[in-house]
Amino acid sequence: MQINLPDGFKIILDLMIPRSNELPMLTSFYIEKNKSKYCIEKFLEINKSYENLFFAISRQNSKKLFMSYEELENFLKNNYEKNFYKKFIKSIQEFILITFFSSPIVLKKLPFILDEKIISTYLYDK
């Protein structure tokens, strides 16, 4: 099994983290390549909870392309209740942390070397 993102999900992920020199593919590409069981479970949970919202994002994007994350965020703020919108964004941010930043492809392409000692320093010495 793998992560198969619907269009609305891809749109929000790709706008939240734009392409870079180090990571030239769309964010959704790297996330779909992550085959971790936990990441797949998290995807299924979020996709089920927000399936209609992803469809609405896709439908709106087909009418008028979202050119930035701010445009998408304004669409959400203007069309959804504040608590629902905030819970949705928090879920997406958590999903990105879990799937994008744990992707072996992403970690390999970072412009610096991560070793266990450096990671431990950042995590435990602060």
Give the model confidence (pLDDT) of 66-110 as tens digits: 999 999 999 999 999 999 999 999 999 999 988 888 787 787 777
Most distant CA atoms of the chain, gap in Å:
49
Predicted local confidence at residue 126, as pLDDT: 42
* Domain range annotation of the chain: 7-124
Q: What percentage of the chain has pLDDT greater than the value 90?
A: 62
Predicted local confidence at residue 118, as pLDDT: 64
Contact 13, 66 (CB under 8 A): no
Predicted local confidence at residue 101, as pLDDT: 81
Name which residue leads in pLDDT, 18 or 125: 18
Contact 6, 25 (CB under 8 A): no
